[in-house]
Structure 1
Amino acid sequence: MLKSLQHGLLALGLAFASGAIADEVKVAVAANFTAPIQALAPAFEKATGHKLVASFGATGQFYAQIQNGAPFEVFLAADDSTPAKLERNGATVPGSRFTYAIGSLVLWSADANYLDGTDAALKAGQFKHLAIANPKAAPYGLAATQVLDKLGLSEAVKGKLVEGQNITQAQQFVATGNAELGFVALSQVYKDGQLASGSAWIVPEAMHEPIKQDAVILKPGANNPAAAALVEYLKGPEAAKVIESFGYKLP
């Protein structure tokens, strides 16, 4: 009986020990990074024992939610200016901000024959709808407007734009055929070094401001070991391979 009691106490001690190291981290993730974080989460959980709980949306919308007290602990933004603004507002853990990825913008069509790797179809204007993300909330949407400005097409396509709340919705407009083409994140249509479907023109970086994507630990995550572990994991070589496989560049 004593032996079984000792075994029981040992099991209870291990349960408490594992509970002490297995924490949960609530992460606000920019919509363009949905597929990469879904690929990263199981490896992160296996490597650290911590659980990652992600919410996806537009960077601008997350900014408003965080300012209004949303309990996110880590923020993976689609730009570097929004985390910097939160930092200035005192909403982050000092010194925790860093660039985790540099994004690429792509003009994409679900039709494999629609785009020929150039901007010719965009300039020809023989389409009814062009999807973009809300430029006020989504950095990839802002980059899309900068490209249209640079090409002198802003006025010509104004009546054809369909605007998604975030980059995921913009991509869905194209995927479902509600728009013949649209500006989306390369990571949404790219995997393991190649286009997953449809046809595309990868927009030259010089045509828009750099899409530097910063991560930061928010005040609610200041004392959460899982938040610190996630940030360190994202800086490591294992995460780097996954991030690059979705078409991102590393800083």
Structure 2
Amino acid sequence: MTTLILLRHGRSSANTSGVLAGRRPGVELDDTGKGQAWALAQRLKPVPLAAVVTSPMERCQQTVAPLLAGRELAPVVDGELAEVDYGDWTGRELKTLIKEPLWRVVQQHPSAAIFPGGEGLAAMQARAVAAIRGYDAKLAVEHDPHAVWLACTHGDVIKAVLADALGLHLDSFQRIMVDPCSISVVVYTETRPFVVRVNDTGGDVTALLPPPKRSRRRRSAQPSSDAVVGGSTGVS
């Protein structure tokens, strides 16, 4: 199957103001976030992308804009990758939200958390995982099985997708860190996903490059679903 790069948007004005932005319109990248997006585009410049799918939130579309510059590739905007609908919590300061009884549920038992007037974290995970797996299967058919694609979305959404890929219950997803403009990488195979990177904000991306076409003929059409006993040998 193909290789998925999960990209969290760069730092936004809401991130620094301590406000839960949610789906509120007009939340854009701050100057640091714009710099992060530019640097990310430079890091991933050598990586050919078969598709870029993004949340409809402005901060996500701004993050992928430098990445798409110079590529003959139009982004796919999909509401299934949108931020959590925090309902009545949207736009409120985090320092006041931590006093709400629901805050402890979000931290300790997130699978039971449903935001007043919004959606539950379990529902968010279901829609995001279904969308990601659907795109991955579709792109595996349409492109070379070694193709790489990117989805730009939000911290909680990425953590939920990673928890699913790791075989973790959603109640463990708060243990995963996903910083602004970080990448996490998942390879979905026939029987299981492999989580290749988590919260990478500056690592080398050579390993994400598809193998040369000559090498592909000597490999199986699909990556193996088997884990390497004893650990991987790394990238030669």
Q: Which has the higher strand share?
A: 1
Common topology (TM > 0.5): no
Instruction: Classify the TM-score, shorter chain.
Output: under 0.3
> Looking at CA atoms only, which structure, 1 or 2, has the larger radius of gyration?
1
Give TM-score scaled by structure 2 length.
Answer: 0.27
Higher helix share: 1
